């Protein structure tokens, strides 16, 4: 019961951040695959790449590129955050434990992975409400169209760029944007 009350309090506070006009991803707290509540404020001072992921998608192979990108830039201040979502064709049906095991065994994922959320629709997670809000983020807002949409966030939690699923994690476009954000 205590856990449920704590989770409801976090959800209400996060939702209130949206209603009050959140201006940074650092204003959100998200649950990891192992159930821990992590304030994204823990990543202040780091550049973030926020990605909605899925284990049974045609783009699932991008986990490999995401991991390589993370390894290449993590010591310079990049943190990659994966948010499993089952919004597109039921391509993320597993539990948090199953998702974590899959990511580690198949792709050696070591970047932070969060609990499965919704990235579109009536039950869209507050973080994704913010990321896709055209008023808060006019250059990058708009509904998520598919898995592996990527948002580049600066060290202060402001959204810099959005990359659609077909843009590979190790593409020149993403690496140049990450390099610029890390300067």
CA 52 to CA 118: how far, in whole Å? 9
In 9-167, which ranges are E strands?
29-31, 37-39, 47-53, 78-84, 150-153, 159-163
Instruction: Check: CB of residue 128 under 8 Å from CB of residue 116.
Output: no
Reply yes or no on whether 9 is catalytic. Answer: no
The DSSP call for residue 74 is: G
The DSSP call for residue 85 is: B
Quickly count helices (H) and strands (E) in the chain. 5, 6
Q: Per the structure block, which two tokens stand in for 60?
A: 């699932």
CA 148 to CA 166: how far, in whole Å? 8
Tell me which of 9, 13, 57, 103 is the catalytic residue: 57
- Which residues belong to the active site? 57
């Amino acid at each position: 019961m205590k856990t449920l009350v704590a989770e409801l309090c976090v959800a209400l506070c996060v939702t209130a951040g949206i209603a009050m006009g959140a201006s940074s991803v650092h204003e959100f707290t998200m649950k990891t695959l192992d159930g821990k509540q992590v304030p994204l404020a823990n990543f202040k001072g780091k550049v973030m790449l926020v990605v909605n992921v899925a284990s049974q998608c045609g783009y699932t192979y991008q986990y490999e590129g995401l991991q390589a990108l993370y390894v290449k830039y993590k010591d310079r201040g990049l943190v990659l955050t994966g948010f499993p979502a089952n919004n597109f064709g039921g391509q993320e049906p597993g539990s948090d434990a199953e998702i974590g095991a899959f990511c580690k065994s198949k792709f050696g994922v070591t970047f932070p992975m969060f609990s499965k959320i919704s990235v579109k629709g009536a039950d869209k997670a507050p973080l994704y409400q913010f990321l896709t809000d055209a008023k808060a983020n006019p250059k990058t807002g708009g509904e998520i169209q598919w898995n592996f949409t990527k948002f580049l966030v600066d060290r202060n939690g402001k959204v810099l760029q959005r990359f659609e699923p077909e843009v590979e994690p190790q593409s020149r476009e993403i690496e140049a944007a990450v390099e610029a954000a890390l300067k």
